[in-house]
């Protein structure tokens, strides 16, 4: 349980980030609660790399935009700032890169950590989609599956689960991009 006096804002987050001793720490703001983001374990980092490398190659080859690894902040509201493990922003939305992103990436990829709760992840997925993401991939390292989330034409959340034999598809977000799920899990 988290006890706090009030909901925090992005301004409060900046103050905490600037405190002595916090220079090398990462924080996320979720529903007005500030969480320190733990440094990733080797498996987590390997999966990030195995997703971001082919994604970057495809995006560069087709001049589609920019891919970011872990560490890129997205300000979604005054009480939400997320750091996806991998993200893509299209050149169509951002012909030039801003100093900060004040909406969600076109694609957000989250690699689950043991500390992530189901409710937290569902909130993040819905928030990404509400603030501009068209596709969210949630990677489950221990189960070797990926949940693909998007909104249907009526604005309802649609989830597709892909196992080790499935293939991720960039759909209309990343035309022509495919990646075998088995290729994002190291041996």
pLDDT at 1: 41
Look at residue 4 in the predicted model and tell me its pLDDT.
56
Q: For 115-154, give one letter per residue: b (16+ CB within 10 A) or e.
A: eeeeeebeebbebbbebbbbbbbbbebeeebbbbbbbeee
Tens of pLDDT along the chain (187 residues)? 444 567 878 778 778 777 788 777 777 777 787 777 766 678 889 999 999 999 999 999 999 999 998 789 999 988 898 999 999 999 999 999 999 999 999 999 999 988 888 999 999 999 999 999 999 999 999 999 999 999 999 999 999 999 999 999 999 999 999 999 999 998 7
- Residue pair 162/135 in contact by the 8 Å Cβ criterion: no
Report the 10 Å Cβ neighbour count for 69: 18
- For residue 53, what pLDDT is reported? 97
User: Residue 60: what pLDDT?
Assistant: 97
pLDDT at 7 (0 to 100)? 81
- Closest to 50 (Cα-Cα) out of 134, 149, 128, 141: 141
Domain residue ranges in the chain? 41-184
The pLDDT of residue 23? 76
To the question of domain 41-184 being in CATH 3.30.360.10, the answer is no
């Amino acid at each position: 349980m988290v006890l706090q006096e009030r909901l925090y804002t992005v301004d409060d987050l900046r103050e905490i980030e600037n405190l002595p001793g916090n220079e090398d720490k990462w924080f996320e703001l979720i529903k007005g609660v500030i969480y320190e983001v733990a440094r990733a374990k080797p498996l987590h980092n390997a999966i990030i790399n195995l997703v971001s490398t082919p994604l970057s190659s495809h995006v560069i080859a087709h001049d589609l935009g920019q891919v970011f690894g872990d560490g890129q902040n997205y300000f979604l509201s005054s009480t939400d700032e997320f750091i996806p493990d991998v993200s893509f922003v299209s050149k169509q939305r951002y012909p030039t890169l801003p100093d900060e992103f004040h909406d969600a990436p076109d694609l957000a990829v989250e690699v689950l950590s043991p500390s992530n709760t189901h409710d937290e992840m569902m909130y993040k997925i819905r928030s990404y989609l509400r603030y501009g993401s068209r596709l969210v991939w949630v990677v489950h390292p221990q189960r070797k599956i990926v949940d693909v989330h998007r909104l249907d034409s009526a604005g309802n959340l649609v989830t597709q689960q892909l196992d080790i034999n499935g293939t991720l598809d960039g759909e209309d977000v990343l035309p022509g991009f495919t990646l075998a799920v088995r290729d994002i899990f190291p041996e």
